[in-house]
Amino acid sequence: MKKVITAGLSFAMAASMLAGCSSKPAENSDSGDKRVLKFDSFSGGNGEEVFTKLAKAFEKANPDVDVQLRFEKELPDVLNKENAKGEYSDVVYYNLGQPSGYTETQLNTHEVLDISDVVEEVGMDENYANSSIVQYYGDGKSYLMPLKTTPAGFFYNTELVGEGKKYELPTTWEEFWALGDQAKKDGIALFTYPTNGYFDNTLNALLKETGGEELLSNVLNYDKDAWNTDGAKQTIDILTKLVSPDYLYSDTVSNANAKDGFTMNQQAVIDGKALFMPNGDWVVNEMADTTPEDYHWGLLPLPALEKDGERFVGSMTEQVWIPAQAKNVDDAKAFLKFIYSDEGVKIMAEGGNIVPTTHMSDTIAAMEDGYTKEFFSVYDTASAALGAFAPYNTDNLPDFDRAATVFGSIDSLATGELTAKDYQSKLADAWVKLSKNKAVTE
Amino acid sequence: MNKKKAQNRFVFACLAPAVILVFIFMVIPTIDVFKTAFFKKSNFVSDATFAGFFNFKVLFNDMRFIEAMQNTILYVVLITIITLVLAVLFATLLTREEFVGKNFFRVIFYIPNILSIVVIAGIFSAVYQPTNGILNTFFGMIGLSSLQQQWMGNPAVINYSIIGALVWQAIGYYMVMYMSSMSSIPENLYEAASLEGASKVRQFFMITLPLIWDNIRTTLTFFVISTINLSFMFVQLTSEGNLGSEVALNYMYNNAFAGKYGFGMAVGVCIFVFSFALSAIINKVTERDILQY
């Protein structure tokens, strides 16, 4: 009898230890019989307020839906774990081009819902609707929906650079470098970058400037000769010069590779140690705590190649998408449409976020004076460059890291490990590989 | 006979929970890692296609992986040597010598060990910060501006900066390990030695070192494991493996959880084999007759 009890007890012990591992998250009790819409968002520079407002307004319009917002700094880790358990969000706000590549992976494994019907219906600006961001596979179907757009050029201090200020605002690259030489004499660097990833929009704009839409599209779509063109060479030369010791703020690479060190590089611009950096409108909020009151941000499109030449600025978008296995697809689609509705656009605009609708210029015009309006005025003098890298078959090229090859190498250019020529041949080699492994839709 | 049987059952019942847990949380996942390494797979849930040795073939031609393994070996070798020498030295001083503030130093040396690696990464970000960092400011203050460096921004020094931080955090732990075995060495051995005229240095090499040898052997395995693990966390929190500071586990992590699960697991298999082989080799090479007192 004793033996049986001993065995039974030890079994119970083992079982109870194992039971602890399989606890299910408690169901949200106050959702009642409402339909739950799970909105999972990357927690970044845009803050949470605007989404909370959007959710409230959506719930008001759809009383039987309960929007459950969640903000996570390490969103891919959280979602990967949940996906492994078979749980999926209904709407995900996570951008392309992140180091984790979560959105790209979900697209490559066909875990993103085709939302062509939504995109068609909402009245999205054509430049965006037809871009490789929305139509990720270039097959005419839409998968990602831009939540907001913002011009992403070179940010600077208008109190330091501008008309009647200490430094003249450059309009051509020649003037830009001359300004760099002038600033250097005062002990100020011309340029810094938060991290190498911030070059994405700059690269788009540069490629469009040096080789037109054709070059930009060839690069984004892995044309094997794209990097061997004159335009590409010019782009690489400009990039190399930007990060050369003559013009780059000396602590840039160290800071860029420290945890959260990107803020230190951004602070360098605020403190007047460096004049320009590639960034987006979120930098205003991100750095608000350490920005002096008399400081004012400005946004410079890329300087022109020649006097009176055409100027370009990268158009950054942030994307939302619906997982293919989402439980509540109908409400998810309704929520995306709501973002593009008049009310949604208004709520977004109140938070300084511009939704790329067909009437976005009206939205901007109707806004109060402020940074958003000022930043968007950049389009008065510069054309937009936008697009995302086409998908490729990661299974066949597991050792290839596109972000490290394209943008990571910029750190090596800055430290002098890599020359412009090496960088160009590195990219050209990579593009040959990529052109053979372009992903096709099934 | 019956009693023997009962005893066996009792032993079995007591061991069962641990065995089951180890099996579920260690053995099965490890087998799964080895299995997945032979598949093309994007993440936990995606479809897997059998790829044979494809992942390994790519891996052995992958410069970043080779760099990661080189760095891992560099870290293991340098951190082990430097930490071992310093920890034994400090342990000897703190157990064998009498001086003011002995206990204070014991605490000071041990403090880094109770800090989490996240805190250590934070501390060293501040130490190595180029303009306001302690190290560069210190060099500037004592007139050695020529020694100022971009500690975490210069590919030529970044690995040594990381090694410096990891040595700093490891010394305390190993020092305490060695101190405990040193303090159990009977005092009369040293008395006899000094009567015979043996110097302190000679006493150390003839008495202390042989008698803590078994302890050092054990810690060598710890060095291999902890360096591989901690360097990953430190790199992940600071340079993220850029600028030539990639380490093996970081490379595995960055692939496995960025859409290349199968490939990442192939890296994992290599690290697994590497750690096992290295520990086995160290164990074999350092084998001596155990000395008793």
Contact A3 B6 (CB under 8 A): yes
In a domain, residue B183? The reply is: yes
Contact A109 B47 (CB under 8 A): yes
CATH number at residue B178: 1.10.3720.10
pLDDT digits (tens, 9 = 90+) for A289-338: 999 999 999 999 999 999 999 999 999 999 999 999 999 999 999 999 99
Share of chain B above pLDDT 90, in %: 70
Distance from CA of A344 to the nearest CA of B (A): 33
Distance CA A421, CA A441 (A): 35
Partners of residue A312 on adjacent β-strands: A383
Contact (Cβ atoms closer than 8 angstroms) between residue B47 and residue B39: no
pLDDT at A14: 54
Contact (Cβ atoms closer than 8 angstroms) between residue B68 and residue B247: yes
pLDDT at B186: 92
Share of chain B above pLDDT 70, in %: 99
Contact A395 B40 (CB under 8 A): yes
Considering only CB atoms, which chain B residues are within 8 Å of A252? Answer: 153
Residue A16 pLDDT grade (very low, low, confident, very high; cuts 50, 70, 90): low
Distance CA B149, CA B160 (A): 12
CB proximity under 8 Å: B 109-128 to A:
121-122, 125, 128
Task: Name which of A407-411, B38-42, B238-242 the model is least confident about.
Answer: B238-242
pLDDT digits (tens, 9 = 90+) for A56-88: 999 999 999 999 999 998 899 899 989 989 999
Domains of chain A (ranges, CATH numbers)? 33-151+316-385 (3.40.190.10), 152-315+391-436 (3.40.190.10)
pLDDT at B259: 86
Of B125, B238, B255, the CB nearest to A398: B255
Which range has the top average pLDDT, A254-263, B80-89, B111-120? B80-89
β A35-42/A145-152 pair status: unpaired
In a domain, residue B192? The reply is: yes
Cβ count near B201 (within 10 Å) = 8
Q: Does A85 touch chain B (CB under 8 A)?
A: no
Considering only CB atoms, which chain A residues are within 8 Å of B258? Answer: 99-102, 105
> Mean pLDDT over residues B249-268, rounded?
92
Q: Note the pTM of the prediction, 2 decimals.
A: 0.86
CA A107 to chain centre: 16
Contact (Cβ atoms closer than 8 angstroms) between residue A148 and residue A318: yes
Residue A24 has pLDDT above 80, yes or no: no
Contact (Cβ atoms closer than 8 angstroms) between residue A96 and residue A386: no
> Mean pLDDT over residues B263-273, rounded?
95
Residue B197 has pLDDT above 80, yes or no: yes
Closest among A384, A374, A378, A379 to A201, alpha carbons compared: A384
Q: So what's the ipTM on this one? A: 0.83
Residue A5 has pLDDT above 80, yes or no: no
Domain count, chain B: 1
In a domain, residue B23? The reply is: no
In a domain, residue B98? The reply is: yes
> Mean pLDDT over residues A266-284, rounded?
95
In a domain, residue B229? The reply is: yes
Q: B15: which 2 tokens?
A: 């061991």
> Mean pLDDT over residues A366-378, rounded?
91
pLDDT at A31: 53
In a domain, residue B267? The reply is: yes
SS3 A398: coil
pLDDT at A101: 87
Residue B78 has pLDDT above 60, yes or no: yes
CB proximity under 8 Å: A 398-417 to B:
398-399, 401, 404, 408, 411-412, 415, 417
The residue in chain A having the minimum alpha-carbon distance to the alpha carbon of residue B46 is A109
Alpha helices by DSSP H, listed for A22-69, are 49-61
pLDDT at A7: 58
Contact (Cβ atoms closer than 8 angstroms) between residue B239 and residue B158: yes
pLDDT at B209: 92
**What is the residue-averaged pLDDT of chain B?**
91
Higher-pLDDT residue of B258 and A159 is A159
- Contacts of A354 by beta carbon, 8 Å cutoff, 6+ apart: A148, A149, A150, A348, A360, A363, A364, A372, A376
> Mean pLDDT over residues B265-288, rounded?
92
Residue A19 has pLDDT above 60, yes or no: no
CB proximity under 8 Å: B 168-227 to A:
none
Q: Which domain holds residue B239?
A: 55-285
pLDDT at A44: 74
